[in-house]
Chains A and B, each alone.
Chain A
Amino acid sequence: AQSVAQPEDQVNVAEGNPLTVKCTYSVSGNPYLFWYVQYPNRGLQFLLKYITGDNLVKGSYGFEAEFNKSQTSFHLKKPSALVSDSALYFCAVRDGWSSASKIIFGSGTRLSIRP
């Protein structure tokens, strides 16, 4: 089965600094990878995805993620953090190539941006 791992429970960054939230994956074949964000008491909001093509994918709110096949990583990045980016971030992978396949989530990383 496919899986993703988020090695950091918490990431703290000062506003204006670049941020990285790490994710590694374990899949057979080519992965469908995602990042979702969850604000307090809210649902999961889709940020971006990698299916194929360019290794650098751009998403909502200025976020981007870099797919690295050799390192089996899909780290989320943003050049300049905002306080409003503080939230819980989930890396995820689709467990198969059908849209009926479930999406498997990592354990989540809490991102805290200090003013």
Chain B
Amino acid sequence: EPEVTQTPSHQVTQMGQEVILRCVPISNHLYFYWYRQILGQKVEFLVSFYNNEISEKSEIFDDQFSVERPDGSNFTLKIRSTKLEDSAMYFCASSGGAAEAFFGQGTRLTVV
């Protein structure tokens, strides 16, 4: 069964460092998303991406964040200068045009 894959599963970084979280969406999907979840609590929307551009972004997704689809398979989230409060589980998701989205297993980001 096709699935969304995310790497790495766990990333530890120093405050102020740049991190790139990687995702491989389901191959024929066209709509991509990033979400985050802090301490197993509410799932928060960050950004949606379609046709090589951002469709929508939340207030969380400030200038420190960026997304890119550098080739036909990867979808990345970059945080330029990490802060302690960026520590969270980050989920990538993709949708093929049906209503539901499918999520990856997540990357646990720990900023120290």
Chain B residue nearest to A42 (CB atoms) is: B105
CB B88 to nearest CB in A, in angstroms, measures: 14
Within 8 A of B (CB), among A72-115: 88, 90, 94, 99-105, 107-108
Give the distance in Å from the alpha carbon of A26 to the alpha carbon of B6 in the complex: 32
* A14 interfacial contact with B, CB 8 Å: no
Which A residues lie within 8 Å of B42 (CB)?
A: 105, 107-108
Which A residues lie within 8 Å of B33 (CB)?
A: 102-103
Give the distance in Å from the alpha carbon of A107 to the alpha carbon of B40 in the complex: 10
Q: Using a Cβ–Cβ cut-off of 8 Å, how many residues does chain A contribute to the interface with B?
A: 22
Please state if A100 and B99 are interface contacts (CB–CB under 8 Å): no
* B65 interfacial contact with A, CB 8 Å: no
Once A105-B43, A108-B42 are accepted as A-B contacts, the answer to whether A46 and B48 lie under 8 Å apart by CB is no
Give the distance in Å from the alpha carbon of A18 to the alpha carbon of B97 in the complex: 34
* B75 interfacial contact with A, CB 8 Å: no
Interface centre among A102, A104, A108 (most CB of B within 10 A): A102
Please state if B40 and A100 are interface contacts (CB–CB under 8 Å): no
Once A43-B104, A44-B103, A108-B42 are accepted as A-B contacts, the answer to whether A100 and B98 lie under 8 Å apart by CB is no
Please state if A101 and B56 are interface contacts (CB–CB under 8 Å): yes
CB B84 to nearest CB in A, in angstroms, measures: 21
State the A residues within 8 Å of B (CB).
32, 34, 36, 42-46, 49, 51, 88, 90, 94, 99-105, 107-108
> Told that A44-B43, A101-B48, A102-B45 touch, could you supply 5 new A-B pairs with CB distance under 8 A?
A43-B91, A49-B99, A99-B50, A100-B55, A102-B48
State the B residues within 8 Å of A (CB).
4, 30-31, 33, 40-43, 45, 48, 50, 55-56, 58, 91, 93, 95-106
